[in-house]
Amino acid sequence: MNGGYVAYTAGLESLGIRNVREVYWNLTTPALYEAAIRRYEGMVSHLGPFVFRTGEHTGRLPKDKFLVQEPASRDKIWWGAVNQPLSPEAFELLRRRLLAYLQGKDLFIQDCYGGADPRHRIPLRIITERAVHSLFARTLFVREKDRSKLPHANPAFTILHAPDFRADPAVDGIRSEAFITIHLGQGLVLIGGTAYAGEIKKSVFTILNYLFPPQGILSMHCSANFGASPKETAIFFGLSGTGKTTLSADPHRTLIGDDEHGWTDTGIFNFEGGCYAKVIRLSAHGEPEIFAASQRFGTLLENVSLDVDSRRVDFDDASLTENTRSAYPVHYLPHAVEDGMGGHPKQVVFLACDAFGILPPVSRLTRDQALYHFLSGYTAKVAGTEVGVRSPEATFSTCFGAPFLVHPPKVYAELLKKKLEEHGAHVWLVNTGWTAGPYGEGRRIPLSTTRAIVHAICDGSLAKADCVEEPFFGLRIPRACPNVDTAMLFPATTWNDPERYRGQARKLAALFRENFARFGTDVPADLADAGPRM
Q: What are phi and psi of 98, to 5 degrees?
A: -65, -40
Establish whether 518 is a catalytic residue.
no
Cβ atoms within 10 Å, residue 411? 19
Examine the residue annotation and report whether 331 is marked as an active-site residue of this protein. Answer: no
Residue tagged active-site, from 95, 143, 201, 244: 244
Burial of 298 (0-12, 13-18, 19+ CB in 10 A): buried
Please answer whether residues 218 and 212 qualify as being in contact, where contact means their C-beta atoms are separated by less than 8 angstroms: yes
Q: Which of 53, 125, 202, 344 is catalytic?
A: 202
Distance CA 182, CA 66 (A): 6
CA–CA gap between residue 151 and residue 160 (Å, rounded): 18
Q: Which of 325, 346, 426, 476 is catalytic?
A: 325
Number of H helices, E strands in the chain: 11, 33
Q: Annotated catalytic, 60?
A: yes
b vs e for 95-127, b when ≥16 Cβ sit within 10 Å of the residue's Cβ? bebbbeebeebbbbbbbbbbbbbeebbbbbbbb
Active site residue 240: yes
- Between the CA of residue 365 and those of 330, 347, 406, 427, what are the distances in Å? 31, 11, 27, 6
Given 203, 245, 363, 376, which residue is catalytic?
A: 245
| DSSP secondary structure of 154-215 | --SEEEEEETT----HHHH-SSSS-EEEEETTTTEEEEES---THHHHHHHHHHHHHHSGGG
130 catalytic residue (yes or no): no
Residue 221 a catalytic site member? yes
User: Which residue in the list 45, 58, 60, 264 is annotated as catalytic?
Assistant: 60
Orientation angle between helical segments 198-211 and 131-140, nearest 10 degrees: 40
Alpha-helix runs per DSSP H in 57-110: 88-102
Distance CA 413, CA 370 (A): 10
Distance in angstroms (rounded) separating the CA atoms of residues 383 and 390: 5
From 9, 28, 240, 385, the catalytic residue? 240
Cα–Cα distance measured from residue 412 to residue 374, given in angstroms and rounded to the nearest whole number: 9
Residue 231 bears catalytic tag: no
The catalytically annotated residue of 64, 117, 258, 259 is: 259
Cβ neighbours of residue 369 closer than 8 Å, sequence gap 6 or more: 427, 429, 474, 475, 530, 531
Annotated active-site residue 145? The verdict is: no
Could you tell me the maximum CA-CA distance found in the chain, to the nearest angstrom?
A: 73
- Active-site residues, by number, are 60, 202, 221, 240, 244-245, 259, 325
